[in-house]
Structure 1
């Protein structure tokens, strides 16, 4: 019977590329956490302004929405590094040896293709917003290229982490699905 997958971070070995990607992913995790903290503090400030002081708010709701969305997207590579994405490990547990490794390559390859397409369209959307000077239709009228930038950056770094995971799998630094063959 196979052992349960490890809950730890992806292995980097002594590989410089894998360590750099892991460092970038970790930095993204810290930035995402800071964005969530900022969103919570802004929400508290908004509640104080509206319900204690009885004044209206202008930018807070929109800023919180953009911060939470950006933290979600920028947190993707960190969650992948920590192996925190939801997964169903029934097939990996049933397969062994070369079949498990082939399944891992199939899963990573499919993920890379899908995230690559999403990164392409995210970049396109960001570029349209930047080139055309799009602004939100609110009183704050934020330039939309600023919050939209989180999409291509988040998906791009997630793609980089997936590529690092595939590299680690191909060169035996990481076991398929973190499972040891028994």
Structure 2
């Protein structure tokens, strides 16, 4: 079990780095487009489409890494208030529901990708990108997200929920100043 968790988490982290690189390439693409339009006065062909595809791909491919970092939207006020065994059960239940949703999304993404691949679909733009390329990150990212949810469920089964003091705090309701 620990080997599975380690391998899947390592792959998710690599996909997170790839997602970051795709976002950076999208920034470069927009910068190129602004330069070409504003400075050179030329029209652009591929930049807008590439940027949209890169951002969507980064979203799907980066999702497993975001799960590792506990960055997905999560209303956890009840979990944090619950005793550790109940918190573990609530986190497992939440992960199972999420896993079911992600598995259905992965199936739909694979079906859509396969249809674009076998049908030879291309975008309706001058660039005419084969649509299987921008669609591939959806099934890859959602399958990896499902595998990462399984790894998280295994981690919860082995270690239980993280103690409350180790939970990341994004916002604090406290108005007190930090004391030395």
Give the TM-score normalised by structure 1. 0.86
Q: Please show how residues 32-181 of structure 1 align to structure 2 within 5 Å.
A: 32-172=19-159, 175-176=160-161, 178-179=162-163
1:180, distance to aligned residue in structure 2 (A): 5.0
Which whole-Å deviations, capped at 9, do the CAs of 1:133-159 have from their partners, x for residues lacking one?
110000000000000001000101011
1:96, distance to aligned residue in structure 2 (A): 1.4
Worse-superposed segment, 17-26 or 61-70:
17-26
Q: Where has structure 1 moved over 4 Å in runs of 4 or more? A: none
Structure 2 counterpart SS, 1:75: helix
Structure 2 counterpart SS, 1:54: coil
Aligned positions, number: 165
Distance (Å, rounded) in 2 between the aligned partners of 1:67 and 1:142: 13
Which whole-Å deviations, capped at 9, do the CAs of 1:34-88 have from their partners, x for residues lacking one?
0001000111111111110001111111000000110011000010011111222
Structure 1 residue 21 and structure 2 residue 16: aligned? no
Distance (Å, rounded) in 2 between the aligned partners of 1:166 and 1:62: 37
Distance (Å, rounded) in 2 between the aligned partners of 1:95 and 1:86: 19
1:161, distance to aligned residue in structure 2 (A): 0.6
Give the TM-score normalised by structure 2. 0.87
Structure 1 residue 30 and structure 2 residue 17: aligned? yes
1:22, distance to aligned residue in structure 2 (A): 1.2
C-alpha RMSD over aligned residues: 1.5
Conservation of the 8 A alpha-carbon contact between 2:95 and 2:149: yes
Structure 1 stretches lacking a partner, 5+ long: 1-13
